[in-house]
């Protein structure tokens, strides 16, 4: 069963200008938390990078933890949306996996700080940390189960398969995208996907 992360009170801006300001704060927070870590980051640094007065921060977020939590939730939503859009219209699960796997690496290449941010969540708010992975895994496992029922991939526990694939993507991205500050090489992607696709193939009946 999924763990529900606590939701802290944040203000949804009623105007387009307020929404832009709030988004600027979130983008600044992503850069600051990704570079400096949660403990060392300050609200002053976030507002300076966003180009707004420090008092403006408190119009949208009550404290540093609130914007951190909102950032993790937002990154989770955007990553899931990116993979959904990349696989839209595909019906074969292997094709879906290839497109989704590629979309994941493209996303983290644009959001390298996400690795540090999500890992920090374990110490800032453990419920949020678990929510991030469980929320992604739930939707992933549901899609795998549909493909299993259709006979496209082998029958096994879809949650186990989901976490195995998520683990592969997580560590490959860490090794080549984060540490090398580059995109995942095509040859690495192809080798990883070949390895992964063999695990998908239905066994003999």
pLDDT, one tens digit per residue, over 155-185 is 999 999 999 999 999 999 999 998 988 889 9
* Long-range contacts at 55-59 (CB < 8 A, ≥ 24 apart): 56/21, 56/25, 57/25, 59/11, 59/18
Q: How far apart are CA 104 and CA 186, in angstroms?
A: 14
Task: Specify whether the backbone of 37 is left (phi greater than 0), alpha (psi in -120 to 50) or beta.
Answer: left
Q: How far apart are CA 22 and CA 61, in angstroms?
A: 9
Tokens of 180: 């090398």
Q: Which domains does the chain have, with CATH numbers?
A: 16-200 (1.10.357.10)
pLDDT digits (tens, 9 = 90+) for 34-93: 999 999 999 999 999 999 999 999 999 999 999 999 999 999 999 999 999 999 999 999
* Displacement of CA 171 from its chain's centroid (Å): 13
**Model-level pTM?**
0.88
């Amino acid at each position: 069963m999924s763990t529900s992360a606590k939701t802290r009170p944040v203000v949804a801006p009623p105007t387009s200008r307020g929404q832009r300001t709030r988004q600027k704060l979130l983008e600044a927070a992503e850069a600051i938390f990704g570079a400096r870590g949660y403990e060392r980051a300050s609200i002053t640094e976030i507002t300076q990078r966003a180009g707004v007065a420090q008092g403006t921060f408190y119009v949208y977020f009550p404290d540093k933890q609130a914007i951190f939590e909102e950032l993790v939730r937002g990154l989770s939503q955007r990553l899931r949306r990116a993979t959904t859009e990349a696989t839209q219209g595909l019906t074969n699960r292997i094709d879906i996996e290839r497109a989704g796997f590629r979309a994941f690496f493209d996303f983290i290449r644009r959001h390298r700080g996400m690795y540090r941010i999500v890992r920090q969540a374990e110490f800032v708010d453990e419920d949020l940390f678990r929510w991030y992975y469980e929320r992604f895994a739930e939707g992933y496992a549901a899609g795998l189960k549909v493909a299993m029922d259709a006979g496209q991939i082998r029958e096994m526990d879809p949650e186990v398969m989901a976490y195995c694939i998520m683990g592969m993507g997580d560590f490959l991205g860490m090794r080549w995208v984060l540490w090398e500050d580059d995109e995942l090489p095509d040859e690495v992607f192809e080798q990883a996907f070949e390895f992964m696709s063999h695990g998908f193939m239905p066994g003999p009946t």
